[in-house]
Structure 1
Amino acid sequence: MDNKNFNRPESFKNKKQKRYNKNKKYHNGKKRTGTKLKAGSDKKLREVFNRIGIPENNNFKADDFQQEAIDLVPHKDCIVTAPTGAGKTWIAEVAMEKIFKAGGKSWYASPLKALTNTLFTIFANKFGAENVGILTGDRKELPDAPIVIGTTEILRNHLYDAMHEGKDIDTDYVIMDEAHYLGDEDRGVVWEEVLIYLPPRIPVLLLSATIENASEISGWMESIRKKKCSIIKAEKRPVDLYPLFLHPSGTIFPFFEPLNDKNKTPSKKLYKKVQKFISNNKKHSLSRPGGLPPMGHIIKIMEKYKLLPGIFFLKSRADCDFAVELCEKNGLRINEKKRRQIILKLEELQEKHPHIKNHPQIKFVISSGVAAHHSGHLPPWKEAVEELMTHGLLNAVFATTTVAAGVNFPARTVVLSNSDKFNGVEFLPLTPTELHQMTGRAGRRGMDKIGFALILPGKFMKVRQLAKIFAKTADPVTSKIKIDFSMVLNLLLSHTPRQIETLIEKSLASYQIHESGELKKDFRRKLSFLSHCGYIDEKDSLTFDGTWASRLRIDYPLVVAEGFRTEIFPDSPVLLAAIISCFVTDREYKDELLSHRSIPKNLKKEYIKIKKNLGPFFELLKSNKFDAPVLYLTPAVLTYHWAMGVPWEKVADLTEIAEGDMVRLFLRTADNLRHIRNLTEVFPEESSAASEAIDLILREPVITN
């Protein structure tokens, strides 16, 4: 097999390319590719670069913080904060092994499905596949196994069920990975709920690289769980990090003043030549206005000084995709030996994931040894890139900052091109936590003696600002708890309103600001609305409708519940899936771009009926200052055609949205359908249709086998 076997016909490739690259100016042939750089390095780096290499002794020996932790786990509550790659997961493995040998059960909660799948494979190899289960929205395998790994939301749902049934949750130990998610704007509430509801008899281990206020979190946990919570903190990275600066001439400088030989501590002062460069009003840039730096030339410089492999963190998906093409335009080529290795690996991966054969970046992977990895790509492609990088077959991966959390990419160097990050609404300066997560990917334990962060000057790189962020520790975790209708309905299954207010008083928010009045006020507002809509009675207990509606643990449970109460949902699996997809969107769609020929008449009829019948309830929500979804037609059209069995490429060509976004739409739709499937006793026909619809949606490449 060679390059051409992976390339799709040109007439089709152009259609496919648009789904990855939305910035058309990068692809009109007029975009300049930058000037060639002359490789050079500052003499102060000679000693640093001499340290590059593979450690001689790869035999594992527990660090002091690891030994301290395993003396406590799994019998005590514990927070472990240590840099990325320091070996926090090993502590969890030791704890689970102790529980396993004693005949107990462990629950490992992870925020990311990709991380969950990776850890599932690791734990299955260690403890035996028959002893490890996995629970995510997409996978449910061996849920009663002695070791279960799953998403934090599912653990929270198990706690809801246990409280409702008056039972104790069936586990003896809980590990919460990436515990800084406790402060996440959207999902932090779930972490907080788990720690509030988890019975004190069950010890909990929190793992994170970035919790600055661990003592405050520990104090909160001790206040609600009435038992000691130990803190184990390691600050030293397993592999030293050395920040570098690439001058537009092609010369690499130290970013900070070189290390002091006496105490070996990094200086927090910018290197004099970097300072001189940024103080020069006529300073040159690595790229022309509106363009990217000459990535291929930069990689060649990195190769000369043995700084590869690298992860380039760029501002946008379009930048990542164009950077891949730019490498080839800059003349970056890999040797024949590596080229053959990549082709063989791709052939192997193609057997598992046929969709990657036609990926538009295949030819660049084979010719230049580079790839893009971001949320706009299909899961099979991202898995392929991860495999290639893990096996040392790629020079570089161009990624958005989402890769920094959870994916174990091996790299010697991370390359930073901007000092800010897009949060979905606007660009904000990188936080210390985000920077630590990104630089945590530099330097591979057991593979590198030293790791690097290479800073690229440019329009979006504020060098002094980045230097200040480097000098800071992680951000403090602050509560992001919020009261939603699903939480209220589920707590009312097992608690009175007064008892729920007591739970609210246990929140991290109440501990941090010593006041829970606003949360209680919001709870009472939602309680009053539920009463007005007939979901709770005059005694503040759930009505029949309130009880089954509590099973809808989704973004808009009341909206979907109203659809059932007014009997407007279709019982056709395809139509039900399409309509439900309207309620899961987290983005805007341009329905006017849909071709009229792509909109089935039966779907349009159902869509109009749904909007008309739910309109009054939407107005009721808004008049009470509650959110109501915007019902777009585009997701319904895409879901309809996919559920009807239309080939992936044809469905993707109906829209301008990226394939990765389309996958997330279908996955979230399937997750909503699972909750509808749980309503068997109340709505048997719709439940059956939802079950069938899930099977229609969850097939390659939405899920990978």
Structure 2
Amino acid sequence: MAPTGSGKTWIAEQAILSVFQRGGRCWYASPLKALSNAKWVEFSHRFGAEHVGILTGDTKENPDAPIIVGTTEILRNQLYDVMQRGRDLRCDLVILDEAHYLGDRDRGVVWEEIMIYLPVRVNLLLLSATIGNGDEIAAWLSTIRRKTCTVIREEKRPVPLFPLFLHPSGRIMPLMESRKLYGKVTEYIVAGKTRRLGKSAALFFGEVVHLMEEYDLLPAIFFLKSRSECDVALKSCTRLTEKSSDERFYYDLEELLSRFPFLRQHRQLQCLVDYRVAAHHGGQLPAWKFFVETMMKKGHLRAIFATSTVAAGVNYPARTIVLFNSDLFNGHEFCPLSGTEFHQMTGRAGRRGLDNIGFMLAVPGRFMDLVHVKKLLYQPPDEIVSQIRNDFSMVLNLLLSQTPETIRDIFENSLASYQRQKLNLWKEFLRHLEFLKVEGFVDASDRLTENGIWASKLRLDQPLLIAEGLRTRGFPEKDEKLLAALVAPFVYDSDQEILLDKRSIPRKLSRAFIRLVRNLGPLTERMTEAGFSVQPLYFWTSVAVYAWASGEDWDGILERIGVSDGEMAMLILRTADNLRQIVSLKETHPEMADLAMKARDAILREPVVFEWEG
């Protein structure tokens, strides 16, 4: 465990090199496809492209290489496969980057499964800057893996952090003095002032960039609370002085645009060129985010306006990070910044080899609690709590190779059990098992039926519904565009309904959607009655993906549906992931598998996907 920028990747490279030179095999897993792609490029340069492969779902290159880079979900699925076949994982070292994801509410279960299922023979290296209870995690791993797990801890930042405060007077001053709030800051708090510099938000962000330039605090990453605020901030920078011509800037710009010609018409490109600022958030295309990250890493940008997702592993530090809020939206509600979130953000401050000091600038406002920020400066990262839970995909895949008795032993090895959490994993497993028996996926002897075996290959959020759609022939069997469209609703996990003009929707799409919903109705009702959550299926997702699969113009679809670039791209990528699971059913559903492959090919094209050459 060590702060961001202190050389954790170098340690990973040395570990890989040691295994590689002995003829061994390595697996480097990360939580983000973008991070995995970046590491693939980096390791290909370091170890030779012929020795490095990538597996992310979207990308599959050189899968038999001795060094594999990929996402944790792919690694977990490989462990399911080798457990089923009774084989050993072809690997000698597994590296889990950003290991604090073990405590992530939505994805932590995957990390915990890997740590439990990984053969003891395979060495395990965890990398993180933000695990508050590393000794407890190490003790748990030592217990279940029957060999000592050692914590290597470096707490000193490679570039020291100096916290600053932007006073409403327009002066930038220290935030702290001898572990206490600076006198002028305390006076500001006591006076109860919340005045900002500018007369409106549209002016304010640009003023802050200008002021920071005067104080030599650029480049900077501004962490803002929403995508829309990032875009507003960008517009406010049009009052900045335009940057003069820079030959290197235009060379790098043209090189990137020649790789991604579809970005030449991007609505935010001119602002980047003229004022050297950019927005970076989940509402944007993956290619645009890569473009912005590259220009920032090359030193061409003054500032990036970003949501907190930037803090989670993408490597482009700045001299200063700017905080406007001491709270953060966690996907459900706004909560005070945690120690982990704060350390991830401030970890981006200070460029190793370029800056002697990194800065955090706190900006006053309605949602900035300076006393809370002061506490966070000296607060360690949060302790990780197990997020393991049962779902139908896990239960089906464990039953491929285990009996209920051995599954109970697996649960006893969980971090939840070690932390003595009262999660009732066994009781929940039995509830899932009983439902699978009723539905014909498991027999009376607790073994998977034929339907259960192929359904286990659907490693999805809603495997039973997709399986039921296949069993009842609710999915189209001859039209790949319709298949892509009808898989799309299963991947959308928000609750946004979009009402569309029915006159613009093909009748065959409406009929196919109604038929699928009707076929799934009885199972959906039984699942709900049994207490299992069922995500609603939103028709607009089918309309959007059908339009894209049919070759409609990207911008036209966005305008008609009313979603952002990033939302549309994510919908398509997740749909492609689900289609890939149907492709895996070649033995039992060969025609559907072939159609799913065609459907996937129909939707995976620019600007959704792009080549990650270094």
TM-score by length of 2: 0.98
1:479-518 correspondence runs (5 A): 479-513=386-420, 518=424
* Superposed structure 1 runs of 4+ greater than 4 Å apart: none
Query: Which amino acid in structure 2 is aligned with residue 280 of structure 1?
Result: A
| Secondary structure at 1:168 match in 2 | coil
Residue of structure 2 aligned with 1:403, choices 290, 310, 331: 310
Instruction: Out of 645-654 and 180-189, give the one that drifted further.
Output: 645-654
Secondary structure in 1 aligned to 2:283? Answer: coil
1:332 aligns with 2:252: no
2:384 paired with 1:472:
no
- Residue in 2 that maps onto 1:346: 253
The structural deviation recorded for 1:383 is: 1.3
Is 2:549 the partner of 1:643? yes
- The residue aligned with 1:523 is 429
Q: 1:612 to 1:598 in 2, by over 3 A?
A: same
Shift of 1:461: 0.6
The CA deviation string for residues 17-40 of structure 1, in whole angstroms up to 9 with x for no partner, is: xxxxxxxxxxxxxxxxxxxxxxxx
1: distance between equivalents of 2:535 and 2:350? 44
Tell me if structure 2 keeps the 8 A contact 1:106–1:171: yes
- Mapped to 1, the partners of 2:273 and 2:459 lie a distance apart of 45
Q: Compared with structure 1, are the counterparts of its residues 612 and 348 closer, same or farther at alpha carbon in structure 2 (3 Å cutoff)?
A: same
Any conservation in 2 of the 1:287–1:458 contact (CA below 8 Å)?
Answer: no
- Cα distance in 1 for partners of 2:269, 2:96 equals 37
Partner residue of 2:529?
A: 623
Amino acid at match of 2:112: E
1:270 alignment counterpart: 181
Shift in Å, 1:337: 2.4
Instruction: Within 5 Å, give how 1:527-566 maps onto structure 2.
Output: 527-566=433-472
Instruction: Report the residue type matching 2:244 in the other structure.
Output: E
3-state SS in 1 of match to 2:360: strand
In the TM superposition, what is the alpha-carbon distance from 1:288 to its structure 2 partner?
Answer: 5.1
SS where residue 591 of structure 1 aligns? coil
Alignment match, 2:56: 136
How far apart, in 2, do the equivalents of 1:597 and 1:128 lie? Answer: 54
Distance 1:534 1:293 in 2: 62
Task: Say if 2:563 is the partner of 1:661.
Answer: no
Q: Distance in 1 between matches of 2:575 and 2:194?
A: 50
| Structure 1 residue 676 corresponds to structure 2 residue 596 | no
Q: Is the 8 A contact 1:374 1:382 kept in 2?
A: yes
The CA deviation string for residues 458-513 of structure 1, in whole angstroms up to 9 with x for no partner, is 01111111111222010000001110100000010100011101101100000001
Name 1:609's counterpart in structure 2. Answer: 515
Mapping of residues 22-41 of structure 1, within 5 Å: none
Matched, 1:317 2:227: yes
1:279 aligns to 2:190 (yes or no): yes
Give the corresponding residue for 1:31. none
Structure 1 partner of 2:287: 380
Give me the whole-angstrom Cα distance separating, in 2, the residues matched to 1:347 and 1:83: 35
1:349 positional shift: 1.6
Alignment partner of 1:217 is 2:150: no
- Superposed CA deviations along residues 525-567 of structure 1, whole A, max 9, x for unmatched, are 0000000101111100000000000000001000011111111
Match of 1:298 among 198, 201, 208: 208
1:449 to 356, 368, 375: 356
Whichever residue aligns with residue 557 of structure 1, its letter is P
SS at match of 1:208: coil
- Match of 2:278, SS state, is strand
Structure 1 residue aligned with 2:85: 165
In structure 2, distance between residues paired with 1:597 and 1:529: 41
C-alpha separation between the residues in 2 aligned to 1:485 and 1:283? 50
Partner of 1:14: none
1:229 to 149, 173, 181: 149
Deviations, residues 253-293 of structure 1 (Å, cap 9, x unaligned): 10001xxxxxxxxx32111110001110355333557x366
Conservation of the 8 A alpha-carbon contact between 1:82 and 1:234: yes
Cα distance per residue 1:428-478 (max 9 Å; x no partner): 111010000000000011111110000100011111111112220100000
**Within 2, Cα distance between the matches of 1:206 and 1:378?**
30
Report the equivalent of 1:35.
Answer: none
Contact 2:194–2:364, Cα closer than 8 Å, also in 1: no
Distance 1:281 1:563, change over 3 A: same
CA–CA distance in structure 2, aligned partners of residues 675 and 576 of structure 1: 13
Deviation, structure 1 residue 342: 3.9
2:71 and 2:376 mapped to 1: Cα distance?
31
* Deviation (angstroms), 1:334: 3.2
Distance 1:275 1:423 in 2: 29
CA distance in 2, matches of 1:539, 1:410: 56
SS of residue matched to 1:231: coil
Q: Aligned partner of 2:309: which letter? A: T
Note if contact 2:317-2:348 (Cα within 8 Å) is conserved in structure 1. yes
The alpha carbon displacement at 1:341 in A equals: 4.6
**SS in structure 1 at match of 2:127:** strand
1:207 counterpart residue number? 127
C-alpha separation between the residues in 1 aligned to 2:486 and 2:519?
A: 13
Consecutive unaligned residues in structure 2, runs of 5 or more: none
Gap change, CA 1:638 and 1:282, over 3 Å in 2? closer
- The one-letter code sitting in structure 1 at the alignment partner of 2:337 is L
Residues 443 and 452, structure 1, Cα contact 8 Å, conserved in 2: yes
Counterparts of 1:381 and 1:464, CA distance in 2 = 37
Structure 2 distance, partners of 1:671, 1:703, is 13
Q: 1:498 to 1:583 in 2, by over 3 A?
A: same
Question: Which has the higher mean CA deviation after the structures are superposed, 166-175 or 594-603?
Answer: 594-603
| Matched ranges for 1:404-443 at <5 A | 404-443=311-350
Residue-pair matches, total: 610
Identity over aligned pairs, percent:
52
Residue 655 of structure 1, CA deviation? 1.4
Q: Secondary structure at the match of 1:472?
A: coil
Counterpart pick for 1:568 among 443, 457, 474: 474
Q: SS of 2:151's equivalent?
A: strand
For 1:375, the aligned partner's letter is: G
- Aligned partners of 2:307 and 2:162: how far apart in 1? 22
Query: What is the CA distance between 1:626 and its match in structure 2?
Result: 0.3
Shift in Å at residue 346 of structure 1?
2.8
Flag the 1:283–1:349 CA change in 2: closer, same or farther, 3 A.
Answer: closer
**Unpaired runs of at least 5, structure 1:** 1-80, 258-266
In structure 1, what is the Cα distance between the partners aligned to 2:518 and 2:361?
55
The residue identity in structure 1 corresponding to 2:606 is E
SS of 1:307's equivalent in the other structure is coil
Question: Conserved in 2, the CA contact under 8 Å of 1:589 and 1:634?
Answer: no
Once residues 450 and 682 of structure 1 are traced to their aligned partners in structure 2, the CA distance between those partners, rounded to angstroms, is 60
Aligned partner of 1:695 in structure 2 is 601
Is the CA contact (8 Å cut-off) linking 1:309 and 1:395 kept in structure 2? yes
- Structure number with larger C-alpha Rg: 1
Question: Does 235-244 or 303-312 show the bigger shift?
Answer: 303-312
